[in-house]
Amino acid sequence: TTAPDVADVVDRVDTTAPEDVADTSTAPETTDVAPRLDIVDTADTSDEGPPPPDPCLLEGDLLAHVDQARMLTDLEALIGLGERATPEGQAAALDYVRAQLELLDDAVITEHAYSWAGKQWTNLEATFAGAGQADTWVLAGAHVDATSETPTIFSPGADDDASGVAAVLEIARALDGCAPERSVRLLFFTNGEGGVVGSEAYVTHLPDD
């Protein structure tokens, strides 16, 4: 008994619908759906997958942080000082090294002062605290001074030892933000050409343990 009533309702709706209502029952008549979907579609950014692995935890991946162009910049800056034999020249080299280390977040910079030949000298150290075995240490160092036949006038020392200083600086940059298992101390010695004076003074200064 209800079928005729339903039919009457359907007929009434069909006959009274406004003629200007858009018919969306067929795809060809719809022109604005795709652009509207593009605006709200976040599929491209919502499914990026898992984050990339932490390079600090992967063996060998710290090498990916090494920038040869940056090392060359360090090398050229040290050579460009002209001489690194006098107290002033060595101080200028340490100033450059310190400025680079101060750009890093994790390096704890400390000076080690010592006396030699009637003058005061300074070694520079940068420490990265170990996350696990903090009481065991890895040390790496280079000397900032250079010599030549006329050391107080011109001693560029590209490979003795500006390249070593550049390498140790780059180790510092690679370690920044990547807490090592053991503590790492990077050392920049003065008076290496005078008979490893700076490094010997530093070792003497170390505690017995």
Distances in Å between the Cα of 18 and the Cα atoms of 22, 23, 97, 119, 148 are 9, 11, 81, 101, 99
Supply the pTM of this predicted model: 0.73
Name the average pLDDT for the chain: 83
Can you tell me the distance from the alpha carbon of 5 to that of 83, in angstroms, rounded to the nearest whole number?
Answer: 106
Contacts of 93 (CB under 8 A, 6+ apart): 78, 81, 84, 144, 145, 165
pLDDT tens for residues 96-135? 999 999 999 999 999 999 999 999 999 999 999 999 999 9
Q: How far apart are CA 205 and CA 100, in angstroms?
A: 25
- Asked if residues 126 and 175 have their Cβ atoms less than 8 Å apart, the reply is no
| Residue 170 neighbours by CB under 8 Å, 6+ apart | 66, 67, 70, 71, 74
* Cα distance between residue 158 and residue 167, in whole Å: 12
Residue 47: per-residue pLDDT: 64
Segment 16-28 shows an average pLDDT of 48
- pLDDT digits 0-9 by tens, 36-91: 444 444 445 556 778 776 667 766 777 888 999 999 999 999 999 999 999 999 99
pLDDT in tens, 170-190: 999 999 988 889 999 999 999
